[in-house]
Amino acid sequence: TFSSPDDASTYLAEYIINKINSFKPTASKPFVLGLPTGSSPEGIYARLISAYKDGRISFRNVITFNMDEYLGLPPTNDQSYHYFMYNKLFNHIDIPRENIHILNGLAKDIKKECVDYEKAIKSYGRIHLFLGGLGPEGHLAFNEAGSTRDSKTREVFLVESTIKANSRFFDNDLNKVPKSALSVGISTILDNSDEIVLIVLGENKKFALDKTINGTKNDARFPSSYLQDHSSVLVVCDNAAAGL
Ligand code: GLP
C-alpha cells in the first residue's frame, strides 16, 4: 500500500522493469507479459516509456497479451483498447508489432478469434507476469459477476455498473458504450500465469479490493476473489483503495 497513486505506479513500473531485465529475454526465450487497459495502469505505462527512453529497458524480446477489447470498435476508434494501448505505450517503445496481441473487436468469427487467442498464449508456454486492474464491482478484465473459474477467452456482456463506470470515456453517454466485449477468462489468467500483479487505485475500488482479499474465495459474484486461488499474486494499491 502506498500513500499516493504516483508512488504505487513507480513501485510497480520498477517491479516490471526488474522482472524483465533479470529474466534477460532473447528472441528464442521472450518475456511474456499480460496487460490491462483502464486509467489505473496509465502511470505505469508512462514510467515504462521513460525507462525505455533512458535506456533502462528494451521491449524487443517482450511478447504482450492484452486482456480485453470492446466488440464492434475498430482500432482507430479512440475508445478501443487497441487505440489506448498504442497511444499510451506501444507507439513509444521498441516492441515489434508482431509481438503485440490484442483481441480483435471486429472479428467476423468471434469463436475462432477467442480460440486462436488461447492457442497463441499457449504457444508461448507461460505468461511470466500478468498485470491487471480491478473493476469497481470486482471484475477482472471483463469477467463480470457470474464468470466461472474455468472460463476462457470469450464474448462477455457488460453489466450496467460497468457500462456506467466506463461511460466517462464515451461522453458520459451510456448508449455509446459497447454492450459486449471479448475478454480473456478467469482460467486464461490464473492457469497460464506464473505471477499476477494488480494495480488498484482510488476510493471507488475499496469495496472490490476488500472482496478480492478478504472475501470468500472463488465467489463468482466478485470474480477478482478467484485470485485467492493463485499462488503468486501481488496487489499494489494506494491508501484510498485500501480503505476497507
Ligand atoms: C475496464 C477494463 C478492466 C479494468 C477496469 C478498471 O472495465 N476492462 O480491465 O480493470 O476497466 O478501469 P480503471 O482502472 O479505469 O478503473
- Rounded to 10 degrees, the C-alpha dihedral 185/159/45/71 comes to 70
Euclidean distance between CA atoms 125 and 128, whole angstroms: 9
- Which residue ranges make up each domain of the chain? 5-237
pLDDT tens for the chain, 244 residues long, are 999 999 999 999 999 999 999 999 999 999 999 999 999 999 999 999 999 999 999 999 999 999 999 999 999 999 999 999 999 999 999 999 999 999 999 999 999 999 999 999 999 999 999 999 999 999 999 999 999 999 999 999 999 988 998 999 999 999 999 999 999 999 999 999 999 999 999 999 999 999 999 999 999 999 999 999 999 999 999 999 999 9
Q: Which residues form the pocket of ligand 1, taking CB atoms under 6 Å from any ligand atom?
A: 36-40, 67-68, 133-135, 141-142, 162, 166
Which CATH number applies to 5-237? 3.40.50.1360
- What is the position in ligand 1's atom list of the atom closest to the CA of 134? 10
Q: How far is the CA of 199 from the centre of ligand 1 (A)?
A: 10
N- to C-terminal Cα distance for the chain? 12
User: Which strands form 180-183's sheet, in the order they lie side by side?
Assistant: 68-70, 180-183, 154-157
CB proximity list for 8: less than 8 A, separation 6 or greater: 2, 43, 199, 201, 236, 237, 238
Euclidean distance between CA atoms 166 and 80, whole angstroms: 12
Euclidean distance between CA atoms 130 and 188, whole angstroms: 11
pLDDT value at position 134?
96
The residue whose C-alpha atom lies closest to atom 3 belonging to ligand 1 is: 141
Closest CA to 88 of 140, 34, 134, 44: 44
pLDDT value at position 198?
98
Closest CA to 200 of 233, 232, 177: 233
What is the complex's ipTM, to 2 decimals?
A: 0.95
Euclidean distance between CA atoms 197 and 133, whole angstroms: 9
Q: Give the active site residues.
A: 68, 137, 139, 144
pTM tops 0.80, yes or no: yes
Would you call 48 helix, strand, or coil by DSSP? helix
- What is the position in ligand 1's atom list of the atom closest to the CA of 67? 9
